[in-house]
Structure 1
Amino acid sequence: MARNTASGEASSGVSSSTTVAEGGDVPSGLWRSLARWSLFLLPVAGLLALAMLVAGLVERDAVEEGELRARERLSLYRETVLRELEKFRYLPHVLARDPRAAAVIEDPAMMLASSRFLKDMAATTGADALYVMNEEGLTVAASNYDSLGSFVGRNYSFRPYFSAALDDELGQFYAVGATTGKPGFFFARATPPGEGPRGVFVVKVDLAGLQQSWRDAGETVFLTDRNGVIFLGTRPDWLYSSLEPLSDMVVAAIRSNRQYGGVPLPSLQDGPADAEVLSLDGEAWRQGQLKVGVLGWTVHYLTPEARLHAGRDIVWLAAVALVLLYALVFLLLRSRALGRATRRLQRHAADLRGLNRRLSAEIEERRRVERELRETQAGLARASRLAAVGEMSAAVAHELNQPLAALGMFVSGARLFEERGDGEGLRENLDEIDALRHRMATLTQELKRFARPGESRIENVDLRECLKTSAKLLRPRVEETGTSLALHLPGEAVVASTAPLRLEQVLVNLLRNAVDACQAAPSPRVEGRLGRKDGFAVIRISDNGLGVPEDLRDRIFEPFFSTKPASGGLGLGLAISARIVEDLGGTLTIGTGENGGACFVLHVPLEAEQRQAVPEARAEECGET
């Protein structure tokens, strides 16, 4: 009694706690948590939005300032290039009209005098080299006549500036020297027409000093020719590369005039050369460009994208630092609140531990009662099987009476045939005696195996034979009560994968219950039907009794529940049968038969091969619940 009271208190406590949690604490706690996090996230969202706005403004200003600086620097570099070239533009024109330089064209013996004059002029003007070519492009005098890489005797008719000068134009060309391998800009002028033999005067200008001054400025700037090839700039590793892939025709033209020697002319990127942002050596550069006005040259000024985004990154770093500081303060305050909540929870936990101890004791008590109940049910199940064995024994005794009587007649006949010397008749009687012996042995073996169901194995069995055997076992009861027992079996075998002895125990129980249930009817009748449906064998056992009321059908398979009088049984037969069917992978249900009585429907899994076949015989339907 004390245990029940404690159990009631514990159950009541749990139920009350659950109700409060479900109805009040959880929703209110959730709303409070959402409100707390909203208060935390609102300033963070505002700060991030402000940082996004400021970062955008800073980046835009940086880009505009970078573009303005690029325009200014491009103009400066363009003017620097033009001024450097302008110093030497008219020097070949002056040399072409000076007899000291032109005399060698008419008299090759003047080579030494003309070369000395050209050397003095080069030293005075700062030109890298001065030289004179005859009409065939052969150099007849040069300022470097006395050096190892002298131009004298070299033919440069393949250079574009030579043909342009012969056409009375100012020849202009930038290339790597074919003799010295040193790059420079070439100005060329021919002697005035009608003034004796034609000759071409060339001035080579070294732009290395200009390039070095660009590098000293610490900026990224370079010049490209009309084909997009970089020939002068602050990045030595980019020289003689293109900003976009060159076509085979352009490469062939460059190779023909030996402009850049035999360098491979690789491309620094795959994108267009005039893109606003270039990707060079794995780094993004914002590009500014301006036409120089000489030979299709373009001056390029590059600004690293990282430099333009530096201000934006600083703004974001400051914003993140502020967010982290804010989060740190929030978490500090939150930890203090959690500390107070933890202390309250510890007090509640102590109360819950006491409640858990009481619940553990209650659970242990219930487990003990369940073990006792299972042991009791197992004993009752054994008692039920022994009762079934008793009925089976009566059936077997009834079956053995007729074979025993027949045995007596066949033995007498055998003796008579022996006395007469009729060997054929004696052998026939002995065969009949052996057949009767086999039948009696089968009956006794079934009794032995039925009494020990634990030895049953899952095997493929014809359910028609199971129904017939079960009906045989129940024949004494059927004859005693005058009940009509009819089996409706299909013509073909219905093979199921099951334990035949356990299934026969269930069928005997269902048939016995049906016989008992229809005793109040004027003409008691029990029917058994076998069919197939949806991969299952379907067995229906129905009677014409009073049936089972609707309000009792949910309890019909409960242990110790019975609709029979108190002396009619323990109420375990259907509970045990339902458990056996469940173990065999089937189902057992109850409904109303055609004659108004009860109808028990048993589903047993068919053999795998029969599940694929279309059934020819189906059991008649009855209402299932």
Structure 2
Amino acid sequence: MQRTRPFPLVFGAIAALCVVGALGWFAWQRATVYYFTELHDRGQNTLNLAEASLRGQLSRFERLPQLLADQRVIRSLILAPRDPDLVMAANIYLRDTAEMLGASDIYVMYRDGVTLAASNFDQAHSFVGGNFAFRPYFYDALGQKGAGRFYALGTTSNKRGYYFGAPIDVAGQRHGVMVIKIDVDGIEQAWASDEMRIIVTDPENIVFLSNRPDWLFRSFGPMTPARLARTEQTRRYANARIGQIDYARETDANGFDLLRTAADDGATLEYLVARAPMPDADWTVQVLLNARPARVQVASAVALGGLALVLLMLTGLILWQRRRQLAERLAVQQAARDELELRVGERTSQLAAANAALRDEVGERRATEDRLRQTQSELVQAGKLAALGQMSAALSHEFNQPLAAARNYAENAQLLLDRGRSADAHDNITRILGMIDRMGRISRHLRNFARKPHQQMRPVDLGSVIADAQELLGWQLDRSGVVLNVDLGSDPLVVTAGAVRLQQVLVNLLANAIDAVDGNETKQLDLVAGRVGDMIELRLRDNGPGIAESVQARIFDPFFSTKEVGKGLGLGLSISYNIIRDFDGRISVRNHPEGGAEFTLRLHAAQPRSAEAAE
């Protein structure tokens, strides 16, 4: 019997170890890239969420200072800063506004930097009387920039916050600055996590926000005199002591940004860093993920892979040594291969049948898509027919009111002629002709409205439109015994709208209000209009039973009506809603606290001279 020499076995073992070493190094590199990429992607997702939450929180308040600066109470205070009544009124307004908006503090600063009024006027750390002229949000807003942003630790409240400043201009002169401070503590609470650090640093690389307080107000690296001077110039951190974080930063061969710091127990902590700048806020948001779990995963994966490879190679060597004993298994393997080929053939046939079925299914789906397109075309045609039907109903509804008025005037004219009062009868006939002309204008206007609704808008005198609507419904008001009180103020009110369509809206609202008070002993309608900023607001209130809460959400839907069958098509308010929307205005309804329903129209104001030129 011939013995096997040990040299091939030793040579094979050495070669196997070399192969295992080379494969292990390669696997280590690939596993490092894989797990660190996975860790970086998780950090990037967290970074995106953190950045989005910061931007969302800041964007909520960015434009509010300018809006508050235009309020009458603020402008009055900035013109008379020593008036105690105005100061108290501004304090209360700012406190209520801060509670409503969820802001930390809101305050008004005079042009010399002294705080005139603040939302925390009644608290121990009130800002009233404090001078914050050294803050960038003040001098940036007061200067040519016209707006200020700054984040800092409050010198009075000793609380962190982000500040927005806006100038207060009166008559073209800059008198002061409106400031809103928002609290950032809630953002940190939303970042609570034990697996990673989320920090926000300033341009001096000082941590301003952190989900772990041990790094708060600490600087990466030593604070040089230049860095300290820039920080103390604006007193960003008030009297807080700026600590130091000893760290080392590098980018490894795979492009990953790594940061190493020392823990309190002296151990070295390694973090994988994902960062993103926020230039608008002058911040850098960073997510630091502990790299140790990834290192452990890499080592475990390489160890398991190496162990599996060694076992595989050992198995191969053993099989190689015992190759002569495998001859009997070759026949079995051949049979297994034959059986496998048979199964492959059967599987191929099954796949062919599946492919045929799939082709049939694709054909059916294409036919279904063709039917769907045809159905969509039919639905478009049906939609056109429905629109035509609704327009016909709308024309019928809009003509009923002037026709009823014309009939009433005709009956009165007949009675007047019988009594020999030809002059009064002639006046009624003139009104009937006016109604006929108005019906023509309504028809023509509805046609124009259907084609190009925005081309007919112009300055319209609201008083004239209301007077025309009163004249149109005068007979109905007299017959129903309804008292209409109109209060338009002393100044002329001119809106940007279409005269005929606006009159349609008023006629619809007044007619509905007359019906609403039917049955009351005292029937009264109040029509009040006035200017609110750059808008004209018109309110119509009745003393009827009001509108149920469940109905108010559907009151402007087409064909929805609370009247009895035969007393309305349910189109008046729907048409009115669409007309006001075409005017870029708003219409709303509510139940008045003292009873009855109240409809409110808000339309853009126009200049009276423009209305005269349009007329």
Q: TM-score, normalised by structure 1?
A: 0.44
Rg larger in structure: 1
TM-score by length of 2: 0.45
